[in-house]
Amino acid sequence: MYRRLSLVIAICLMAPAAIAQDQTLADIRQQLSILYVDIQRLRTELSTTGGASAATAGNTPLERLDAIEAELQRLTSKTEELEFRVNRITVDGTNRIGDLEFRLCELEEGCDIGLLGDTPSLGGVDNATDVPTAAPPPTTGAPALAIGEQADFTRAQEALAEGDFRSAADLLATFSASYPGSPVAAEAALMRGKALEGLGEMADAARAYLESFSSDATGPSAPESLYKLGFALGQLGQGQDACLTLAEVGVRFPGNGFVNEAQAAMANLGCQ
């Protein structure tokens, strides 16, 4: 029955499930190269163009004073905008380097992750006092994530909890692309499915649920992913396939709370 279930799902969705791949050292070196290019572009933006002019419009001293004040306000606003942007990039860049160091340590033999310590801030000085810092990795009961990885996942969780489905779906799509092989890949795909379902994009939601279940068919999110997949298939008019998928929830996860949800969905579909 499982082989039939897999075949039916693959045919009705008409898209292969995404398979997470572990990062290699070459992948990490490539990411570091991209990061250094981004830093170089930022340094270029901070360079002067030499186009400033000291000329002040106005025929009277009062008009010239007003013009100077307006220009000062404009420059102050621009400076604050650039300062915030630089600080934000500093925090993001530092976190990304920390993530790469974390993953490199995982790949290297004999590397103790606990001894990595804090990643030095880009530029040597961290003046990003007004920029939100990344959340620390979970300490108990949850998979260990790199600092930036945890921060990105938390932002997506918050967007979904607030009902901002579009932002949540985009953040989770970016998360899956940025952190292939993440310990929370299955949960992230499940959350993306919920966000897409909230947007009414049921076909894409079904694919996300399938990706979640395929990523970890025995993990904590698997019962819900399988139930949500069957429910989505029913919403797409694939009644027979939905019934088959929903029935698998009770077969695979007897006693789980989502078995009752699956049975209720089967009753609504008139499954035999």
pLDDT given for residue 19 in this prediction: 35
> Would you say 174 and 159 are in contact if contact means Cβ atoms under 8 Å apart?
no
| Average pLDDT, integer, range 231-245 | 90
Q: What's the pLDDT score for residue 209?
A: 93
Place of tokens 């499940």: 190
Task: Answer for the pair 224, 205: CB distance below 8 angstroms, yes or no.
Answer: no
Alpha-carbon torsion (22, 170, 163, 94), positive or negative: positive
Within 10 A of 74 (CB to CB), how many other CB atoms are there? 10
What is the rounded distance in angstroms from the CA atom of residue 108 to the CA atom of residue 94?
21
CB 36 within 8 A of CB 193: no
Is residue 131 pLDDT above 70, yes or no? no
Can you give the pLDDT at residue 139? Answer: 41
Q: Is 186 in contact with 216 (CB distance < 8 Å)?
A: yes
Q: Mean pLDDT, to the nearest integer, of 21-47? A: 62
pLDDT grade for 169, boundaries at 50, 70 and 90: very high
Reference 219, options 110, 120, 163, 143; nearest CA is 143
- Planar angle of CA 182, 35, 159, nearest 5 degrees: 50
The one-letter code for the residue type at 186 is: A
The percent of residues above 70 in pLDDT, for the chain, comes to 57
pLDDT, tens digit (0-9, with 9 covering 90-100), for 15-33: 443 333 445 556 666 666 6
Instruction: Answer yes or no: is pLDDT of 63 > 60.
Output: yes
Q: How confident is the model at residue 138 (pLDDT cuts 50, 70, 90)?
A: very low
Supply the pLDDT for residue 151. 86
Give the pLDDT confidence of 198-213 residue by residue, as tens digits. 999 999 999 999 999 9
Instruction: Specify the pLDDT at position 134.
Output: 42
Q: How confident is the model at residue 68 (pLDDT cuts 50, 70, 90)?
A: confident
Phi, psi (deg, nearest 5) at residue 67: -65, -40
Question: pLDDT-derived band of residue 87, with 50, 70 and 90 as boundaries?
Answer: confident
Tell if the pTM clears 0.75, that is, is over it. no
- Amino acid present at 119: T
Inter-residue contact 123 to 93 (CB < 8 Å): no
Please state the φ and ψ torsions of residue 176, each to the nearest 5 degrees: -65, -35
Residues near 35 by beta carbon (within 8 Å), at least 6 away in sequence: 93, 96, 97, 100
C-beta neighbour count of 79 within 10 angstroms: 10
pLDDT at 246 over 90: yes
Identity of the residue numbered 209: Y
> What integer pLDDT is reported at residue 70 of this predicted model?
73
